[in-house]
Chains A and B, each alone.
Chain A
Amino acid sequence: TESIINHDEL
């Protein structure tokens, strides 16, 4: 499942 915001930060 894709999240609405792409969590690409730390």
Chain B
Amino acid sequence: NIFRAAGDLSHLISILILLNTIQKSRSIAGISLKTQILYVLVFLTRYLDLTYRYVSIYNTLMKLFFISSSIYIVYLMIYKFKNTETEQIDTFPIEYLIGGSFILSLIFNYKFQFGEILWSFSLWLESVAILPQLFMLQRTGEARTLTTHYIFALGAYRTLYIPNWIFRWISEGRVDYLAIFTGIVQTIIYSDFFYIYYHRVLKGFKFELP
């Protein structure tokens, strides 16, 4: 359906914006390494199911793309364009996010089974993975426009999945409570950012937090 297609496209675009920003400016200023490491974890734990579950060629290719691009971005950030200044303000305690997601995945899953726990873990972790990045924005008070486009596209992906879930609930009777709940949590976390993005970036102002 259109929402899911738009969501996936927006997810894809967010990664391309990020890669392009890093390659062109040859800098990772303002980008949170911790958030990027969390995304590697999210993609690895959710998408390694491609080794034992086949959905479609589209699904497989997208999974491969997200795993490899997220690892590549972390590689660029650590080895190629290391930025100690940015690292110094990247101080969000992600161990709590990882630990909390792990505990929640043990409690909430469709079956107490390795693959299902990993899937649940990835959903919880994804819902909060942007926090170190938003935290960094708050500390610096402003961001490069491209960085805000990246965050917007990434947030739009899960937000667009919400009407997709409603659509699938109506048309197929399919309801994935875990994905829906964590997707809503994720959208709420982004809501403040969306608001500022809409009021400043789209109207041509610099991204500055009030």
Residues of A within 8 A of B (CB): 1, 3-10
Contact = CB atoms under 8 A, between A and B. Distances in A.
Interface majority SS (helix, strand, loop, mixed), chain B: helix
B149 interface: no
Contact of B59 (A3, A4, A5, A8): A8
Nearest to B53: A7
Interface string B161-189: 10010000000001010110000000000
B111 interface: yes
B110 A10 contact: no
Interface of B: 4, 8, 11, 49, 53, 55-56, 59, 62-63, 66, 110-111, 113, 115-116, 119, 161, 164, 174, 176, 178-179
A7 B63 contact: no
B111 A4 contact: yes
A5 B119 CA distance: 11
A8 B116 CA distance: 13
Given A1-B113, A3-B110, A3-B111, A10 B176 contact: no
A3 B4 contact: no
A4 B177 CA distance: 12
A4 B110 contact: yes
B34 to A, nearest CB: 22
A10 B49 contact: no
B63 A10 contact: yes
Contact of A5 (B4, B49, B110, B164): B110
